[in-house]
Amino acid sequence: MKRIKKLLCLSFALLTFAAYALPAYAAGEKTEEESPGEEEELLAPYFIIQTEDCPVDLFPLKSTEVTTNINGVIAETYVVQTYANEGDTPINARYVFPTSSDVTMHGMKMEIGNNVVVAKIKEKEEAKTEYEEAKSEGKSASLLEQKRPNVFTMDVANIMPGDTARIELHYTELISSTDGIYEFSFPTVVGPRYAAPPESEEKADAQQDDWVSSPYLADGETPPGEYLINVNLSTGVPIAGIESKSHEIKVEQKEDSRAEITLANPEDYAGNRDFILNYKLTGEEVESGLMLTSSGEENYFMLTVQPPERFTPEEIPPREYIFVLDVSGSMMGYPLDTAKLLIRDLVTNLKETDKFNLILFANETFRLSPESLPATAKNIRYATEMIDEEMGGGGTSMMPALEEAVDIPESEDFARSVVIITDGYVSNEDEIFNLINNHMDTSSFFSFGIGSSVNDYLIKGIAQCGMGEAFVVTNSEDAESSASRFRTYIESPLLTGMTIDYEGFDVYDVATSAPSILYAQKPVVLFGKWKGEPSGTITITGKSGEEDYVQEIPVNDVTVDTENEAIRYLWARTKLDQLAGYGSVRNDESVKDEITQIGLDYNMTTPYTSFIAVIEEVRNPEGDSRDVNQASPLPLGVSNLAVGGGYTAYSEPGDILFVLILTAIPLLVFLRRRRGGRSKTLSL
């Protein structure tokens, strides 16, 4: 055992040395002649380093300033990205950045010198063509494209030496609450994605995953420049507490219901982990409510349905849990340690009447048992031993693990829940959502996002498709409380068979993804349009335990707001989600056309609409600009092993590559023997 540990330590040390040394000697930037073969390669993130004599500014993004105004449950966010060219060569900058998957991106403007251009929303291909033409003509231009609901790319063409380009983005989102605790999350960095091979060429074209091949800095390094976050909170109800588990914050209380939140240490780089702000209000949980707005042309409403008080049923049906744990390279270190604490807590607290199984996955999958096992002390011990053995490593091949999970023979009279624990660093979300959609009749799916910057589109989508709930665990201290929340949530459905009736209130185009079952103290929000006079009654009915549940909201008691544009945008966002759903965008051209039209009508990004801004002045007549992909920091706690695409720098290659290969061989052989020496499933 000691020899094995020494071998692992030595190999890892040499690999780490090579990982840091290699960029200085790696191949230079790719040329046009090399590009034809790129399409045949698996897209992957890579490391980048800038040498002192490089004439190109590889880090054009100099600062990011975030200002969020939260009024009630609606957040308006303004993000200012400042790009500057401190090199000797004109550049075209590209930056891949995240948002929450629930945002409505509806505004953008570009400022270079005295030129200020408000971006226009156009169909995606038209905007792309206009950008490329402006770029080739030597004009400065910017293009904002949506790659995923939570991933965007910003392209800025012809930033001249000495230029400063200021790009302002504006978006709106809804703040959610659970058990009376509200949470605002601002993602700061896109984690390195594992590009699983698509099932077909058609799906490969549809995925448009060029953004996956993005540069990263080595673990612990941060890009130059600052990352500032400011939140203005106005709740209308006295605030009981404000905290952030992700960043140290400074809270300035303006009034009982107003506060300003800033970073306590702005000099410390904040852009390598999600900014998460939690706050709680005094008094009891806010009741169900209705908001009405009128924009002149159309009227919109937002209905918030609060679940009833929690009840404890006398008999909880036996349950079967299939835990699916990500042990890939991006989980190595503290994310995997946190995941182990979480899953150990979940498994050891199962009831004796429950059954369970465990699947680990990276490049391959490994299952505890062919069939689910009774939650006996012996079987739980086998599971915890299996977890403890894992060190992490390899790609994130989630699909085979989920296919194996849903293929496990069902246990009669047991309610099955599939619990997926991952950071979500994959690029084939649509395939995963489609699989869950095809099995939601036999299983509910729950997700735990592990880490400082999870893929919330995947984490939320798993729960949305699987009629479950999503949890995010940012550190080991959260593991126990998250496991407790999960147990409470799954054991106590609060309202079943929910229906909503709009008597005397003329509504249409109601957009919602509300489930028919409400769990925990988490409200459901619906958006829609209305016409005529605001009158009548909204009635919410359902079953709370064995009791009938009825709640009525008089419409004529609500004042119509003529200035609130946010609900209009939130309706459009929810309508898009309803049309496209989680999973592959349907091949129905009429659906694509409807999504495109909503984007154009509401001035918002969609999979088929983008923002484009062009300064008509020819600023680079020579056309000698260089393309630069802005490098991102690795998310806090994610190791270098998560980046599998190699290295790019601006110097000569050296013999260190050969050293890397040689040092990797002992470790790879050992790991292969270790995996090969045990069966696919554990014999009990």
Chain segment 132-175, per-residue pLDDT in tens: 999 999 999 999 999 999 999 999 999 999 999 999 999 999 99
Mean pLDDT of 20-39: 36
Residue 646 has pLDDT above 80, yes or no: no
pLDDT confidence bin for 34, thresholds 50/70/90: very low
The CATH superfamily of 319-491 is: von Willebrand factor, type A domain (3.40.50.410)
- What pLDDT does residue 524 have? 81
Instruction: Output the pTM of the full model.
Output: 0.83
3-state secondary structure of 23: helix
Residue 565 CB neighbour total at 10 angstroms: 14
The per-residue pLDDT for range 558-611, each reduced to its tens digit, is 999 998 899 999 999 999 988 877 765 556 788 899 999 999 999 999 999 999
DSSP class per residue in 481-512: HHHHHHHHHHH-EEEEEEEEEEET--EEEEE-
Residues 6+ apart with CB under 8 A from 481: none
Class of domain 289-311+495-601: mainly beta
Residues 6+ apart with CB under 8 A from 143: 127, 128, 131, 153, 154, 155, 157, 610, 611, 612
- What pLDDT does residue 42 have? 44
Under CATH, what is the fold of the domain 29-193+217-281+607-627?
A: Immunoglobulin-like (2.60.40)
The per-residue pLDDT for range 461-503, each reduced to its tens digit, is 999 888 888 999 888 888 888 888 888 777 666 677 778 999 9
Q: Is the dihedral of CA 662, 664, 668, 671 positive or negative?
A: positive
In the chain, where does the domain assigned CATH 2.60.40 lie?
29-193+217-281+607-627, 289-311+495-601
In the chain, where does the domain assigned CATH 3.40.50.410 lie?
319-491
Residue 515 has pLDDT above 90, yes or no: no
| Percent with pLDDT over 90 in the chain | 53
- What pLDDT does residue 287 have? 63
Q: Of 168, 174, 182, which Cα lies nearest the Cα of 67?
A: 168
- What pLDDT does residue 138 have? 97
Residue 78 has pLDDT above 50, yes or no: yes
Pairing of strands 355-361, 365-367: antiparallel
